[in-house]
A and B are shown apart, each in its own frame.
Chain A
Amino acid sequence: MKKIYPDAGAALDGLLADGMTICAGGFGLCGIPERLIDAIRDSGVTGLTVVSNNAGIDNEGLGKLLRTRQIRKMISSYVGENKEFERQYLAGELEVEFCPQGTLAERCRAGGAGIPGFYTKTGVGTQVAEGKEHKAFDGETYILERGIRADLSIVKGWKADESGNLVFRKTARNFNQPMATAGRICVAEVEEIVPVGSLDPDCIHLPSIYVKRMVLGAPYDKKIEFRTTRQREAA
């Protein structure tokens, strides 16, 4: 079965529908599936629920789908500096479910692993716990959080082999790993596709079983939100 598609639009062909739920990898603008986001924008699909740690910034990442108003609801931990997000949210046009970052990662991991719910201490005694089942284990209180299953996952990898084994690079791995497992179908975009046998099987970050379709997204012009540097000391 051939998993490699000629472009992002082709890789998403037949997978998009109005009102669907999409899990998207990335943290800030680091490791975001930008080609697939562009293709979703171009498809015109609407009423989306998007599960993603962040919502991009104005005109970058998921910010592009906010601008076109294709997103109905975000499930995120931090939405940061995004004027269009703020405008739609305050106008009541966009629904937002805030979820603690670790709980969000685990909800996706659990969903992808066939675990419909789990107990966590995170959020006990806060707004996050309201309306959720509380249960004591060994004298401590925990709340029940639900696993997330999505219709589609979109992720960004560094290298893939032709069978769909994926390797991520540095902190661009972030949410891509759990998000990839939470969708009924996962589409990955990568910077390089290498022949089967080129990657060390002991060093695969995401086994091919999770990646159903992929596309070569290179060349990338990766964005940096906050460029912080230090000076070389004079010799």
Chain B
Amino acid sequence: MPWDRNQMAARAAQELRDGYYVNLGIGIPTLVANNIPAGMEVTLQSENGMLGIGPFPYEDEVDPDLINAGKQTISELPSSSYFGSEQSFAMIRGGHIDLTVLGAMEVSEKGDIANWMIPGKMVKGMGGAMDLVAGVKKIIVVMEHNSKGGDPKFIPECTLPLTGKNVVDMIITDLAVFHRPDHASPFRLIELAPGVGAEDVRAKTTAHYEG
């Protein structure tokens, strides 16, 4: 049985460590917040200028001045802080954020990631994605193993314009987990979703990986 969206997020949450400062992308990555292990202190950063993202607010606590990077209303925690966008990206670019979890359209076997534009379609912009992949210490991609059309997304070379080159550390798909210890090493298959065979994964992947 492949992992569902929440199970993929739960798998990503296993990479969290006590005391981590973490930035979560939009979509499945956001679900990681619901899977932080009990007793672990993890601080979530929002690139529009906040550390310490709280849960969605109660209806009577909704505040237009308090949103996340996806422009959703959120709440604050007793430990929260606010700052400007220049400070927010200083902490991202400066390598102070421990981990980011992002979605992707393609990841290459060399750790390149493409997740911001499809030529010929309306381009909405990269937002903070290029800054995150360039600056955060550890980059985890969570994505479906194959596109809706069945095409592999973990491939030898990205075909779409890149968001970052040689930046991805771990890939979590609905079928498997790939990891590399450093940016000079190839990815290695380290885990399979329950009931998924290594041959299945091999057959659905064009990227080179070990294991």
- Measuring CB to CB, which residues of chain A are less than 8 angstroms from any residue of chain B? 27-31, 53, 76-80, 86, 89-90, 96, 98, 100-106, 108-109, 120-128, 158, 168-178, 205, 222-232
Contacts and interface: CB of A to CB of B under 8 A. Distances in A.
Interface string B50-88: 100001111100111111101111101000001111111
A205 B87 CA distance: 12
A117 to B, nearest CB: 15
B78 to A, nearest CB: 14
Among B82, B85, B127, B165, chain A packs the most CB atoms within 10 A around the CB of B85
Contacts, number: 180
Majority secondary structure of chain B interface residues (helix, strand, loop or mixed) = loop
Given A100-B131, A101-B127, A122-B135, A222 B64 contact: yes
Contacts of A175: 84-85
Contact of B92 (A80, A102, A104, A224): A102
A215 B54 CA distance: 33
Contact of A121 (B46, B68, B135): B135
Interface residues of B, number: 53
Contact of A230 (B49, B56, B92, B93): B56
Given A223-B64, A226-B71, A174 B59 contact: no
A27 B67 CA distance: 9
B42 interface: no
- Pick the 9 closest A-B CB pairs, nearest first: A125-B165, A102-B89, A177-B84, A102-B131, A222-B64, A78-B125, A105-B85, A101-B128, A225-B71
